[in-house]
Amino acid sequence: MECEAASDGMHYEGTCIRPPSEAMSILLQVTTGCSHNKCTFCGTYKDKRFRIKDNDMILSDILFASKYMKRQDRLFLMDGDALIIPQKRLLWILEQIETHLPWVRRVGAYANAKSISMKTPEQLAELKEHRLGILYLGVESGDDRVLEAICKGTSADKLVEMGRKVREAGIKLSVTVLLGIAGKERSLEHARATGEVLSRMDPNYVGALTVMLIPGTPLHDDYLAGKFELPSQRGLLLELREMIAHTNLSRGLFFSNHASNYLPIKARLPAGKQQALDLIDGALEGDVPLKPEWLRAL
Ligand code: SF4
């Protein structure tokens, strides 16, 4: 069957986000929203009900990209957790990408513990054969008490198991952790537990973001009610230091250069660990400048 490329552009719905490293990628929206949509700090998809988009619309966007996006060799499947799409349908999407966008070398998507657990190791390997090259997993914390408090819907052990499953399938794993998410009291326990989970999981990339309080989210409500207190700027640096000190990766990159952070760090672990700790110590002593509040953003 001959298909006509849509002339009216890509069919994006609502707020669309992608990881910073996918800024130059073709952004193909195959689902709307997030199938979990319960994390207390996250306001990203509050305006959307989760659904998988129609095959016709997905194909129309792929055909549009095949005409107008010939220079982009990476593609990111939006929204929340495209990996939750049933295997047969996800394979169909990847096959359409292979057929119509043969220059795309790597496809990426967000995933969560549930969507990874629903794929067998063989299914993940099959997706990898069809160019699914990287999955982005929100770990947020390695501390079970924090995971429960933020309604992450999973445990630290499960996150480790799922992260390892992705890596064993030959798919790159990029995870995010949240500075400040444990509040002031549990900050250092969260940092240590998170470092330990990262060490057991051994991802290719770790991005440490600072939690931002988004109006309308349960976490923001707790903050207004005095039930949640963010660590101070110094407290966040100590938390980052403790987390890095407890993180042992075989060859992963640890970033804290997101726009939400006070101190940008990019360290290849284990080699760059001491240098990163020294930089944080310099900031704690006031020798290294921090990003001013007005420059921080999501
Ligand atoms: S799984 Fe991710 S996108 Fe979904 S609610 Fe949690 S943080 Fe937000």
Atom of ligand 1 nearest to the CA of 36: 4
Q: Is the pLDDT of residue 125 over 70?
A: yes
pLDDT at 278 over 70: yes
Q: Looking at the predicted structure, is the pLDDT value of residue 6 above 60?
A: no
CA of 37 to the centre of ligand 1 (A): 5
Give 151-154 contacts, CB < 8 A, sequence gap 24+: 151/38, 151/39, 151/40, 151/218, 152/39, 153/36, 153/38, 153/112, 153/113, 153/114, 154/112, 154/113, 154/114
**Which pLDDT value is given to residue 106?**
98
How large is the average pLDDT for residues 117-126? 98
pLDDT at 3: 37
Residues with CB under 6 Å of ligand 1 are 34, 36-39, 42, 44-45, 80, 112, 138
Ligand 1, atom 1: nearest CA belongs to which residue? 36
What is the model's pLDDT at position 261?
78
* pLDDT classification of 262: cutoffs 50, 70, 90: confident
**Per-residue pLDDT tens over the stretch 161-219:** 999 999 999 999 999 999 999 999 999 999 999 999 999 999 999 999 999 999 999 99
Reply yes or no on whether the pLDDT at 2 is more than 60. Answer: no
28 - beta bridge partners? 77
Please count the other Cβ atoms lying within 10 Å of the Cβ belonging to residue 54. 10
Looking at the CA of residue 112, tell me the nearest atom of ligand 1. Answer: 1
Of 46, 112, 217, 219, the residue with max ligand 1 atoms within 8 A of its CB, to mutate for a pocket test, comes to 112
| Model confidence at 129: pLDDT above 50 | yes
Q: What is the pLDDT of residue 175?
A: 98
Mean pLDDT of 110-131: 97
Atom nearest to 79 CA in ligand 1: 3
Cα–ligand 1 centroid distance for 4 (angstroms): 35
Instruction: Give residue 28 CA to ligand 1 midpoint distance, Å.
Output: 19
Mean pLDDT calculated for residue range 101-109: 98
Nearest residue CA, atom 4 of ligand 1? Answer: 37
Identify residue 218 by its one-letter amino acid code. Answer: P
pLDDT at 5 (0 to 100):
43
* Digit-coded pLDDT (tens) for 60-100: 999 999 999 999 999 999 998 899 999 999 999 999 999 99
| Predicted TM-score (pTM) of this structure | 0.93
By three-state DSSP, how is residue 52 classified? strand
Mean pLDDT (whole number) for 117-136? 98
Per-residue pLDDT, 264: 86
What's the gap in Å between 33 CA and the centre of ligand 1?
A: 9
In the prediction, which pLDDT does 294 show? Answer: 61
- Percent of the chain scoring above 90 in pLDDT: 82
Closest residue by Cα to atom 5, ligand 1, is 37
Q: For a substitution probing ligand 1, which of 35, 36, 211 has the most ligand atoms within 8 Å of its CB? A: 36
Instruction: Please tell me the distance between residue 149's alpha carbon and the centre of ligand 1 in angstroms.
Output: 14
How much of the chain is in helix, strand and coil states, percent to nearest 5? 40, 15, 45
Q: Check pLDDT > 80 for residue 59.
A: yes
> 73 or 7: whose pLDDT is higher?
73
Q: What is the pLDDT of residue 258?
A: 67
Pocket test for ligand 1, best of 15, 34, 212, 214 (most atoms within 8 A of CB): 34
Q: Is the omega angle on the peptide bond into residue 79 within 30 degrees of 0, that is, cis?
A: yes
Distance between CA 194 and CA 142 in Å, rounded?
A: 4
Indicate if the pLDDT at residue 292 is higher than 70.
Answer: no
Q: How many CB atoms lie within 10 A of CB 203?
A: 25
Q: Tell me the best of 17, 18, 41, 42 to mutate to test the pocket of ligand 1, counting ligand atoms within 8 Å of each CB and taking the most.
A: 42
CA distance 265 to 53: 38
Task: Tell me, in angstroms, the distance from the centre of ligand 1 to residue 43's CA.
Answer: 8
Query: Cα(114) to centroid of ligand 1, in Å?
Result: 12
Q: pLDDT tens for residues 219-244?
A: 999 999 999 999 999 999 999 999 99
Cα–ligand 1 centroid distance for 38 (angstroms): 7
Q: What does the pLDDT look like over 10-56, one tens digit per residue?
A: 999 988 889 989 999 999 999 999 999 999 999 888 878 899 999 99
Mean of all residue pLDDT scores within the chain:
92
User: What would the mean pLDDT of 145-149 be, rounded to a whole number?
Assistant: 98
What is the reported pLDDT for 16?
86
DSSP state of 11: -
